[in-house]
Amino acid sequence: MGIDILNKHSFNFNKAYGQNFIFDKNFLESIVIGIVDKNTNVVEIGAGAGTLTSILCQNAKKVVSFEIDKNLKPVLEETLAPYDNIELIFEDIMNFNIKNLEEKFDDEYVIVANLPYYITTPIIFKFLENSRFLSSMTIMVQLEVAERLVAKPGTKEYGAITPAIDYRANAKIIKKVSRKMFTPIPNVDSAIVQINFIKNKYNIENTQLLDQTIKSAFSMRRKTLANNLKNTFNLTSSVIDSIYKDLNLDKNIRGETLTTKQFVELSNILNKYKSKA
């Protein structure tokens, strides 16, 4: 299976959907083996020509695969005809209710996907903030994005998504992928990131508040953390001073230098102040 099946169905790549497919079966199998077995439920985002989908179907218990481009329907119907453990959904994952998705499985599930570059971060945040039964994500993303997902505090790559993942999971880059692996060839290289979720990795009093705190810290990177917190939570300078004293933070510290542990501690203290208000 390769480009021939696309030509057979007169398929044209759509730049708006960030379509770059991989047809190397051995390479795709190397991603799946060790992550998926006959007891695994899988969500795939971006079925494409169904190359990865086919391998998932061969190895998994059940696969639910999303594809936004309905022009790929005849391609996928042919590619996936041999499998009875696949559910194809021709819809934008960003418009799909995660609760409804999770009801399709009887247990935990994993995500294995070659994510479209243009919507990678929103997809990750959607699952981070809404999923209840997701145990891991193995995702192929733009190399620059991969480096953001695993970045260290104080680096230019470190952003809101980094601690948002880190307080829930352990993330690592497991493989870099040359742009030459894709059809059509994109302008950048990619990487595969594995995110393994860990329940109760930190003692968090209010998860929603922690997410809000992290987003606030990165909302205006040129401003100090104190200014961003004041704007987001309507805090007085005296309250900020008290919080900083409790956490032993420098008054001029910027959000992008805080570790995940510090974000958790900050959020837990903010939760106490909000409870008193």
Q: Please give the pLDDT value at position 277.
A: 55
Q: Name the stretches of the chain with pLDDT < 70.
A: 1-2, 275-277
Q: Please give the pLDDT value at position 11.
A: 76
Residue 26 CA to its chain's centroid (Å): 24
Same domain, 52 and 147: yes
Q: Please give the pLDDT value at position 1.
A: 59
Distance CA 125, CA 157 (A): 17
Count of Cβ atoms closer than 10 Å to residue 121 Cβ: 17
Full-prediction pTM beyond 0.85?
yes
Give the domain-ending residue among 147, 165, 197. Answer: 197
Question: What residues contact 260, with CB distance under 8 A and at least 6 apart?
Answer: 163, 166, 167, 202
Distance CA 164, CA 151 (A): 12
Distance CA 206, CA 182 (A): 42
- With vertex at residue 32, the alpha carbon angle to CA 38 and CA 26, rounded to the nearest 5 degrees, is 125
Distance CA 55, CA 63 (A): 10
Cβ-count burial of 42 within 10 angstroms (0-12 exposed, 13-18 middle, 19+ buried)? buried
Give the domain-ending residue among 165, 197, 229. Answer: 197
Same domain, 88 and 140: yes
Same domain, 250 and 146: no
Same domain, 147 and 268: no
Which domain CATH number covers 211? 1.10.8.100
Range of the domain at 77: 3-197
Same domain, 135 and 222: no
Query: Bridge-partner residues for 171, per DSSP?
Result: 195
154-200 pLDDT, tens digit per residue, is 999 999 999 999 999 999 999 999 999 999 999 999 999 999 999 99
Distance CA 169, CA 100 (A): 23
Q: Maximum Cα–Cα distance for the chain, whole Å?
A: 69
Q: Assess if residue 202 is contained within a domain.
A: no
Give the domain-ending residue among 197, 228, 245. Answer: 197
Same domain, 142 and 213: no
